[in-house]
Amino acid sequence: MSASLEQLLRDARIDLVLGRIEKDPSVIDDVVTQVDNEIRSIRFNSIFVLGELGEKAGPKAVSKITKYLNDEDWSVRREAARSLGKIGHIASPSIPRLADLINEKEVSIRSSVVNSLGRICVATEECIDILKNGLKDKDESVRTESAKSLGLLGPDAFEVIPDLTKSMRDPNWTVRTASAEAISGIGKNTIKSIPTLIHALSDDDWRVRNRVISTLAQIGEPTLPYLLDSLKHKNAIVRRCAVETLGELKISSPEVLEKISGLLDDKVESVRGIATDALRSIGETAIPSIIKAYDEFHIPLFSKQTIRFPIFWVLLVLSMIYLFTPGLPLLFVLMNLGGLGTIFAFISFFYSIIYAIFIIIDIIYLSLGYYLWFHKLFDLNNKQKVLLIASIGGIGINKDEPINFIITQLNSKKNYIRLEVARTLGKIGVESNAALNALEGALLDKKANVRREAALAIGKLGLFATKAIPSLIRALSDKNKDVRWRATEALGMLGVDSTEVLSALQGMIHDECDYVCEAAELAIDNIKET
C-alpha cells in the first residue's frame, strides 16, 4: 500500500490520494510519513495533499509540515506555508516559524506566509504586527494579501484600521481594494471601531471616506452619538461625511432631524447639499423638517461661497487704495506754500482732479461689488431652496401638506424655483386636483422653461390629468418650441384617443421644429396602440 501511495504521490495523482483518504482516514498517517521522503516531488505533493484536507489533516500533519518551512527547496517552503494556512486554526503552533519567513527573498513565499497567517491567526499582537509590516512590503501581492488577512482577523483587530486607511492610498488598485474590504470586515462587527472610523472621516482620500461611511452605516444605531457630535466638527469634510452616514442610517428621531436640518444653512455648499439628500433619504417623516427649513432658510452672510466671490475683494482693495490717498494733494499744496514753485501747484491741481474722478468711479464700482455680492448671496439661498423642493419630490409622498406647500412656491419671483415646483408636482401630484390646477396655471407662466416643465409634469400624472387636455392643446400653440414639444409628449403620455387630441397632434406633425414633429408622430402611435 505504501509503495502504491508513494507512486501516486510521485505522479501527482492528488485526486486518487484524496479518494483513498475519504474511504480510509488512516491513509492520512501514511501521507504524513511521506512528507519525509527524499524525493522532492513526493515531499511536495504530500504537503499539498495534507493542506487540501484542512483541519482533517490533524496536529501530526501540522508538526511535520512546520518542519519543512526550512526546506532547502524554496517551492517546498512555499507549499508548506500555503498548506498550513489551508489547515487553519489548528496550525497555530506554526505561527512563530511562519513569521521567520516574512523576510524571504522569494515574493511568493512572503505572499503565502501572510495569506496563511490570516487563516490561522486570531487578533494577537504578534500576528497583527507581522501583517501590518506586510502592508509595507515592496511587492504589491504581499501588501494585498496582508490587507486581506487583516480583514480576516475580525473585530478584535480594530486597531489596524488607521494602517488600512493608509493602504487605501496605495499605488496599486488591488491593495486599495483589499484594504477597503478589510476595513469593512473589521469595522462593521464591533462598536469598538467606531471612534477610529469617525476619525478616519477626515482622511484626504475620498475612497477611504466612502468605505468608512459604508462601514459606519453597517454598524448602525450605535454610531449615532458619534455622528451627531461630528456634525459640529470644524472640518467641513467630516460634517459632510457624518450627515451622509445619517442619511444612510435613515433614523428619523426628532433629534436627528433637527441636527441634520441645522446643516441646511452650513457655510459650505456641499454640506448643505448632502444634508438635503440625507433628509430625502430618511423619507416621509423628514417632510415637516424640510418645510420648516425652507421657510427659515438663509445662508450666512459670510459663507464660504460669498467670501470667495472675487469681484467684491478686488473692489474692496481698490477702494482702500483710493480712500487712503487724499493726503497726496494736501502734501503738494503744503510744498507749494513753502515756495517750491508753480510746478507743484500744477501737479497738485492735476492730481486733485484725477483723485476726484477715481473717487466717483470707486463709489460706483464698490456699490456694484456690494450689489453683486448680495445678489450672489440671494441666489445661493434660492438654489438651496430648489434642492429642498426637489428633495420632497424625491420622497414622492402624495399628501396634502407637501403638495400645498409646493404649490405656494409657484408665487416665487425666481423662475428656477417655479420650474422645480412644476417638476415636483409631476412626482407627487397624482390624484391631487390642487396640483393639477396649479400645473395648468403654470402653463401660462411668463418663463418658457416653467411652461415646458409644467406640460411634461401633467403628462406624468397619467389618466388622472385628462381634464387638463384643453390646456395642453392650447400649449401646442406656444411660441417656444420646447413648450410645444413637451405639450405634445404629454398628450401622448395621457393616451386619450379622441378626435380633439388626434387632430391637434396631426397639426403638430408639420411644426417648424423637427423634434416637435417627431414627438407628435410618436404620440399618435402611442395613443393608437393604447
Rounded average pLDDT over 234-261: 93
Q: Is 49 exposed, middle or buried, given 0-12, 13-18 or 19+ CB atoms closer than 10 A? A: buried
Residue 221 burial (CB count, 10 A): 10
Return d(Cα 53, Cα 56) in angstroms, integer.
5
Return d(Cα 134, Cα 153) in angstroms, integer.
15
Residue 501's nearest CA partner among 530, 461, 460 is 530
Higher pLDDT, 383 or 520: 520
Phi, psi of 13 (to 5 degrees): -85, 70
Q: What cell was used for 526?
A: 402611442
pLDDT at 384: 75
Return d(Cα 419, Cα 397) in angstroms, integer.
19
Residue 348 burial (CB count, 10 A): 18
CATH of domain 1-119: 1.25.10.10
The pLDDT-based confidence of 340 (bands split at 50, 70, 90) is very low
Summarised one tens digit per residue, pLDDT across range 270-327 is 898 899 999 999 988 888 888 888 777 655 544 444 444 455 555 556 555 555 555 4
Summarised one tens digit per residue, pLDDT across range 26-80 is 989 989 999 998 899 999 999 999 999 999 999 999 999 999 999 999 999 999 9
Return d(Cα 445, Cα 416) in angstroms, integer.
12
pLDDT at 400: 84
Summarised one tens digit per residue, pLDDT across range 471-515 is 999 999 999 999 999 999 999 999 888 999 999 999 999 999 999
Residue type, 450: V
Return d(Cα 425, Cα 436) in angstroms, integer.
8
Return d(Cα 98, Cα 463) in angstroms, integer.
72
Contacts of 115 (CB under 8 A, 6+ apart): 82, 85, 145, 148, 149
Summarised one tens digit per residue, pLDDT across range 154-183 is 888 888 988 888 888 888 888 888 888 888
pLDDT at 243: 96
Return d(Cα 285, Cα 397) in angstroms, integer.
10
pLDDT at 228: 95
Domain ranges of the chain: 1-119
Which DSSP string corresponds to 475-500? HTT-SSHHHHHHHHHHHHHHT---HH
Summarised one tens digit per residue, pLDDT across range 224-246 is 999 999 999 999 999 999 999 99
